[in-house]
Structure 1
Amino acid sequence: MNIGLTGGIACGKSTVAEMLVRRGALLIDADRIAREVVEPGTPVLAQVIRRFGDDLLLPDGSLHRKKLGERVFGNREALRDLENLLHPPIRALIRERMQTYAAEQPDKLVVVDVPLLYESGQQAMYEQVMVVYVPREVQLQRLMARDGITAEQAEKRLLSQMPIEEKKGLADWVIDNSGTLEATEKQVEAFWNERGLS
């Protein structure tokens, strides 16, 4: 079985992923794959540099991710171009890893951690989608505390994603992470047991 794991920024997705892995799940991290596809010497990195400029290449041949982010943030056309370059190879690699895990360890739960799962229309790739949820006000407070940013900056980041309430409404399974770690752990345990996972 596989699930897509998503949520909003600062909702605690990594915490829940870790809880699932501790129980024996296999994790595929979309953010890590996104970094892999633009490693030095990859064709995708060459395409990104061709589209966005040579100044994004660091002396060691790696991508200046922060500068690229600044270049596409707030520029809808540039962001769309970047997504068109990155999303197909990222999805292909995710599918490949899912198939490998399913073939080699068919009894294991495969968890694919995808921050923008709904925004990028990937829900059909998974048997079920789990959303890690906290109310928007909690999300805002945690984001400000975690990243040391102002309320205005945090608001901007939240506005770049689908609202968390909307994601919650689309989910097959919701983990409410607004309470204690113990409360979150109980919900993960309930999910695990209900699915008959071992």
Structure 2
Amino acid sequence: MAPSTTTPARPDRRRTATSPQAVALLHEAQAGSSDAFAELYHTYRDLITRYVWVRVHHRDAVDDLVHDTFVDALAKLATADDDVVSWLLRLASHACYRHMWANRRHIRAAYELHAQPLPTAAPAPDSQRINLLAALIAAAPLTDNQRQALQLRLDGYSREVAATEMDRTRNAVRWLEAEAVRRLRSIADGAL
């Protein structure tokens, strides 16, 4: 006996067909019946849940994606076609696609953040610049009070501490600093 050239019979794996009752429910929902939309939800929730599970295999995401599918269905109810099953499956497919791309973006962002070098600390002040500034202050035609106020500020003391050290008010120290800076600028502008 010769071997058979036909393929073995497979079980029929067609998708669920849209029933006339589902089309009637869709038309009622499009007319504004929330009960009709609720009945569509209860009829096709299990089908959409199985479809989403096969696509994403993520238990925590399935309920959210089924919810997103029916929210999209409610929002796009006016543009629905009479093949309710394929319309809902398309919406579920779009919800799954958005979910997978969002996950990919999150993973990519995490890798990019991990790959970036840690921020470095601010560079320490250049001692040569500080020495040059100190020499400029020492050679500038400043009053002793202006020189002392500016030197205390450059040494890192607050105006309150400088005011206490100089036995002056905080505003007087601020004015002395400002006058010293103005004189230094006029010297620098004249030298250029």
More helix by share: 2
| TM class by smaller structure | under 0.3
* TM-score, scaled relative to structure 2: 0.20
Q: Computing the radius of gyration over CA atoms, which structure comes out larger, 1 or 2?
A: 2
* TM-score, scaled relative to structure 1: 0.19
Higher RCO (Cα < 8 Å, 6 or more apart): 1
